[in-house]
Each structure stands twice: as structure tokens, then as C-alpha cells.
């Protein structure tokens, strides 16, 4: 399924730029493209290869229908914020349409469904909230899935894509340096293995922010693992589908395969891996076979809204894009639009709702604190080099996972996922 992306050189000397972007996933690359398009001098540093992290594992549903989000936003923030969230993601979808057309890349229009297998008051409330906000949607009892449902909310004219085909066309010509990890932050500069990069503005787009000194992201987020099977010889579903229950399943077609996703659990906590997906495939698609399998990781915020904007109150020239809550495609584009304005000193209509400086006083904060405390106190090894939490063995993926902030390491200690920035010392694994 994956394709080779263009290769970029390693940064071999000191450099200077107006805007430095750290992280070569979808969000960072879209920021680099947007700034280049606006004529802004910028540079992007990637520790490995562009698109090799979470972006390479996405199921690439491009939709503004993000689970049970609008009922929650309406209750907790009011109609203005809820409507603005929809508008930001709809604008992101429209930008994708325009960009795909300009690049000559296919973006497949599909309808998006939020379904429930049992009667759900939450789903009814979501429909009511969307209708109140003027979001085009409709209820349907006919859900083309291989099991019975109690209905779904359908949003028409959303999209799905192959992110690698898109990036193959997007990244050539961008000012990117690969194999260039950032080792240290200094005021107006970062230190790499072979030089210092000075910048007027810096954007951190590393999935989970790597700088702990500011912003308290280690308290404001946690990470989840989820799993995907690519099935051959399975009946197409002709749409993108997500269960309103976080423990449920997602579906979409891709290049003659059916992508079946699910099995979410907090990183470092027990989970079933691919087993629930395999059982569903055996039951609902008995003639299918597993062509590919993979897992992915998502950053979950305290209130369900991404953090896009100034990194912290005390860092006026440092910015962040993180916490996409499983909806990385439209959120990455929204980040490029918001940050493309903020770093130029231009007002953006959505900067307030995504501001990382909004209140942390949410119920999830206490859960995050308790989880971190419970995993710091036990006198066990190995430990994560990020903030010292005890690592847990993940038997499904054969990795050491951090239950506090989601860093992951191979059996011999090689870093797989941040926010840790270094390999785990082999003697402690």
C-alpha cells in the first residue's frame, strides 16, 4: 500500500530561516506547503523520513464529522464554538479538494456515517445538535454494513484519500531536511546533530510535543493505540463509517481492500490488539483474507479539540499543532491554515477555539494526573526517558510502551513513538 516518497538531504551546517517547522508528518508538511505558497521563508526538519510516522498509518478519512463532537461542543462551549469547529474542518476539506485538483491527484468523494449498533440517546443528541447548528446531515436507517445497526447520521460529500499519493505530489520542492533530529531548544534557535538553526518563529508538529518545559502537554494529553486490518475479498462499504462507541469499529474502502479499524486502548494499557478485528472479519467476511495489518497512535486532548496555536503563554514565537483526536486529516489542514496566519501576524477566525491556552480544568485532567502518578511511583525498570514512567510490555506489537504519555520502544530500545526524543538505554530494557 505504501509508496516511496522523494528523499531529502540531511542538514549538515548552521542555517537561518524565518519559520522553522519541526516534524515531517501531514501537519508539518501542510504547514510548509502553506507558508511556501504564501511566500514565507521556511524550513522543515524531520528526524527520520517524511510521512514515516503516524501519517503513514492513517486510514485517511477526510471528514468534518468527528464522532460525537458537536453535541459535546454545544453543551460545553456553546453554539459559536461548535459552529466554528465545523466551519474550520469544512474549510480544511475544501482546501484539500482544491489542492488535490491542482496537483492532479484523485480525492474520492464519499458519504460519512456515524452509526450505532444499539439505540443510542447520544447519537440522537448529536443529530439534534448538528441540526441546531445548521450542519447538513440526515438520519438514515439503511446503513450498508455487514451487521444490524440502529441507524446512523449521514453527512454527504466528505472524502477519503491515499496520503502517500498525495504527498508524492505535495512534497517535491519543499524546503525539507530529513534525518535531522532536533536535540535542544534555545531562544530563537534549535540544536541539531550538525548545526544550529536560527528562526524567528518555530512550529512544533511532532504529533506529541517534544518540549516539556512549556505548555504542560504531558498533562493535557494522552495517547491511544488502535488497529487496522486491510481485508481482501470483502464486500465494499462505499462510504466511511465510525461507531459512536469508541470501542466500536470503523470501515472504509481503499484500492480494492476493506480497511477495518478499531480496538482502541490507552497506550501502555492492556488491549486486544488485532484480535477483535479478526473475530469481526471471520464473522462478517468469512471469505476474506488479511492482506495487511498495522497499528496507529492518536493524541487525545482534555476537551476533544486540537491544540493549534501559541505553544504557551510564555513563548510568543513558538507554536504547536497536536491533539488531533483521531481526525488528523482535516485537523492537519486546519493547523496549516491557522498557523499560516498566526506566524505572519494575521488574525485567523479559528485561532480562539484551537488555542492551547484554553482552560485545563476538565475531568480528563485528573485522570491523566492519576495515571502518571501511578506509573511513576512503582520501583520498576525499564523506564521511559521522557519523564521516567515505568514502561509496559506490549505483547501484540512486541514493544515497550509508556502508559503516561505514549512513547514506545522496540525490544532493543529503539525509539518508535514520541514524546521521548532518544532511544531507551539497552541496559534498562
516511496: which residue's cell? 4
Q: Is residue 11 within a helix (H) or strand (E), and if so which, with residue range?
A: none
| Average pLDDT in the chain | 93
Residue of higher predicted confidence among 157 and 379 = 157
User: What pLDDT is recorded for position 1?
Assistant: 45
**For residue 347, with 0-12 CB atoms within 10 Å meaning exposed, 13-18 middle and 19 or more buried, which class applies?**
exposed
Residue extent(s) of CATH 2.102.10.10 domains in the chain = 363-428
User: What pLDDT is recorded for position 379?
Assistant: 67
Fold held by 67-72+107-159+220-298 = D-Amino Acid Oxidase; Chain A, domain 2 (3.30.9)
% residues pLDDT > 90 (the chain)? 79
User: What pLDDT is recorded for position 388?
Assistant: 80
**For residue 179, with 0-12 CB atoms within 10 Å meaning exposed, 13-18 middle and 19 or more buried, which class applies?**
middle
User: What pLDDT is recorded for position 4?
Assistant: 75
The pLDDT of 217-235, averaged and rounded, is 95
pLDDT for 425 beyond 80 = no
Grouping H, G, I as helix, E, B as strand and the rest as coil, residue 92 is helix
Range of lowest pLDDT (87-91, 314-318, 410-414): 410-414
d(C-alpha 390, C-alpha 269), whole Å? 12
pLDDT for 397 beyond 90 = no
Q: In which band, very low, low, confident or very high, does the pLDDT at 382 lie, cut at 50, 70 and 90?
A: confident
Range of lowest pLDDT (163-177, 192-206, 328-342, 415-429): 415-429
**For residue 260, with 0-12 CB atoms within 10 Å meaning exposed, 13-18 middle and 19 or more buried, which class applies?**
buried
How would CATH label the architecture of 363-428? Answer: 3-layer Sandwich (2.102)
Residue of higher predicted confidence among 131 and 407 = 131
User: What pLDDT is recorded for position 53?
Assistant: 87
pLDDT for 410 beyond 50 = yes
User: What pLDDT is recorded for position 212?
Assistant: 87
d(C-alpha 419, C-alpha 309), whole Å? 19
Range of lowest pLDDT (145-149, 157-161, 401-405): 401-405
- SS3 string, 224-268, reads EEEEEEEEECCCCCCCEEEECCCCCCEEEEECCEEEEEEEEEECC
User: What pLDDT is recorded for position 380?
Assistant: 67
d(C-alpha 124, C-alpha 153), whole Å? 9
518545559: which residue's cell? 213
pLDDT for 429 beyond 80 = no
- pTM assigned to the model: 0.94
Phi, then psi, of 195 in degrees rounded to 5: 170, 170
The pLDDT of 29-53, averaged and rounded, is 96
Phi, then psi, of 208 in degrees rounded to 5: -100, 125
pLDDT digits (tens, 9 = 90+) for 83-128: 999 999 999 999 999 999 999 999 999 999 999 999 999 999 999 9
pLDDT digits (tens, 9 = 90+) for 329-371: 999 999 999 999 999 999 999 999 999 999 998 989 988 888 7
* Residue 67 backbone class (left: φ over 0; alpha: ψ -120 to 50; beta: rest): left
Residue extent(s) of CATH 3.30.9.10 domains in the chain = 67-72+107-159+220-298
Amino acid at each position: 500500500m505504501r509508496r516511496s516518497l522523494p528523499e531529502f538531504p540531511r542538514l549538515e551546517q548552521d542555517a537561518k530561516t524565518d519559520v522553522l517547522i519541526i516534524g515531517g508528518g501531514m501537519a508539518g508538511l501542510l504547514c510548509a506547503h502553506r507558508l511556501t505558497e504564501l511566500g514565507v521563508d521556511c524550513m522543515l526538519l524531520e528526524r527520520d523520513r517524511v510521512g514515516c510516522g503516524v501519517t503513514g498509518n492513517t486510514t485517511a478519512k477526510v471528514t468534518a464529522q468527528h464522532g460525537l463532537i458537536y453535541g459535546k461542543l454545544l453543551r460545553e462551549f456553546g453554539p459559536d464554538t461548535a459552529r466554528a469547529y465545523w466551519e474550520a474542518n469544512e474549510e480544511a476539506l475544501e482546501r484539500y479538494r482544491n489542492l488535490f485538483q491542482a496537483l492532479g491527484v484523485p480525492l474520492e468523494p464519499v458519504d460519512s456515517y456515524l452509526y450505532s449498533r444499539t439505540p443510542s440517546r447520544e447519537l440522537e443528541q448529536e443529530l439534534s445538535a448538528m441540526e441546531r447548528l445548521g450542519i447538513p446531515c440526515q438520519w438514515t436507517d439503511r446503513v450498508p454494513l455487514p451487521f444490524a445497526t440502529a441507524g446512523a447520521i449521514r453527512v454527504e460529500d466528505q472524502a477519503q484519500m491515499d496520503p502517500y499519493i498525495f504527498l508524492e505530489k505535495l512534497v517535491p520542492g519543499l524546503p525539507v531536511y530529513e534525518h535531522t533530529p532536533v536535540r535542544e531548544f534555545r531562544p530563537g534557535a534549535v540544536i541539531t546533530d550538525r548545526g544550529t538553526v536560527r528562526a524567528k518563529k518555530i512550529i512544533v508538529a511532532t504529533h506529541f510535543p517534544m518540549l516539556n518545559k512549556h505548555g504542560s502537554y504531558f498533562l493535557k494529553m494522552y495517547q491511544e493505540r488502535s488497529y487496522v486490518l486491510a481485508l481482501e475479498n470483502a464486500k465494499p462499504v462505499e462510504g466511511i463509517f465510525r461507531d459512536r462507541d469508541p470501542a466500536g469499529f470503523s470501515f472504509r474502502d481503499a484500492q480494492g481492500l476493506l480497511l477495518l479499524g478499531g480496538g482502541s486502548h490507552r497506550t501502555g494499557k492492556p488491549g486486544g490488539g488485532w484480535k477483535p478485528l479478526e473475530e469481526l472479519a471471520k464473522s462478517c467476511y468469512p471469505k476474506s483474507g488479511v492482506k495487511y495489518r498495522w497499528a496507529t497512535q492518536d493524541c487525545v486532548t482534555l476537551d476533544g479539540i486540537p491544540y493549534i496555536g501559541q505553544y504557551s503563554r510564555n513563548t510568543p514565537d513558538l507554536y504547536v499543532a497536536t491533539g488531533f483526536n483521531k481526525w488528523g486529516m482535516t485537523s492537519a489542514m486546519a493547523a496549516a491554515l491557522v498557523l499560516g496566519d498566526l506566524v505572519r501576524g494575521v488574525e485567523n477566525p479559528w485561532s480562539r477555539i484551537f488555542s492551547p491556552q484554553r482552560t485545563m480544568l476538565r475531568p480528563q485532567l485528573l485522570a491523566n494526573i492519576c495515571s502518571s502518578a501511578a506509573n511513576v511511583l512503582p520501583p520498576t525498570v525499564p523506564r521511559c526517558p521522557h519523564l521516567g514512567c515505568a514502561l509496559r510490555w506490549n505483547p501484540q506489537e512486541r514493544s515497550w510502551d509508556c502508559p503516561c504519555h505514549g512513547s514506545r520502544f522496540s525490544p532493543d530500545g529503539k525509539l518508535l513513538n514520541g514524546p521521548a526524543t532518544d532511544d531507551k538505554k539497552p541496559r534498562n530494557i
